[in-house]
Amino acid sequence: MLATAESCTGGMIAAACTDLAGSSQWFERGFVSYSNEAKQELLGVDPALIAQHGAVSEVVVRAMAFGAVRHSYAQVGVAVTGIAGPSGGNPQKPVGTVWFGFQVDGRLTSELRHFDGDRAAVRTATVRHALQRLLELL
């Protein structure tokens, strides 16, 4: 079973999964944790991690992926947090910066990607990458 924890995509990964007939056989739930408070309350992300590293960071996305599995009946979790734009970026984390977290078979992995384009393009590329990478890991 799969659980998603999404920030910058706002539920688009869960929607892509549930667009498929039969997804109730493998999709357990989705968390839209757009705000820092939602990351803390829904997924158990330590507020100190967000304060120290920012919401768009490796440690936070890993905590989100772990929290998605821990706070569900799923065995697999995928999490994303990023800056879709058009504002919110800075030189260290420009628009298009997205962190991905995956928990598969108890193994937690993460990766950073940078996508070009407008807000819609960044979000679409994020969904595509999250699902493609998840399939590879499975």
Domain that holds residue 14: 2-137
Residue pair 110/62 in contact (Cβ under 8 Å)? The answer is yes
- Per-residue confidence (pLDDT) for residue 24, from 0 to 100: 96
Residue 11 CB partners (closer than 8 Å, separation 6+): 4, 30, 32
What pLDDT, on the 0 to 100 scale, is given for residue 45?
Answer: 98
Query: What is the model's pLDDT at position 86?
Result: 94
Read off the pLDDT band of 111 (50, 70, 90).
very high
Amino acid identity at 127: V
Longest dimension (CA), the chain: 43
Q: Which pLDDT band, with edges at 50, 70 and 90, does 135 fall under?
A: very high
Alpha-carbon distances, residue 81 vs 8, 21, 26, 38 (angstroms): 5, 27, 23, 12
CATH number of the domain enclosing 37: 3.90.950.20
Round to whole Å and give the CA distance between 86 and 67.
Answer: 28
Q: Cβ(73)–Cβ(62) under 8 Å?
A: no
Number of domains forming the structure of the chain: 1
Q: What are the pLDDT digits (tens) for 13-66?
A: 999 999 999 999 999 999 999 999 999 999 999 999 999 999 999 999 999 999
- Average pLDDT, rounded, for the chain: 97
Residue 32: its pLDDT value, please?
A: 98
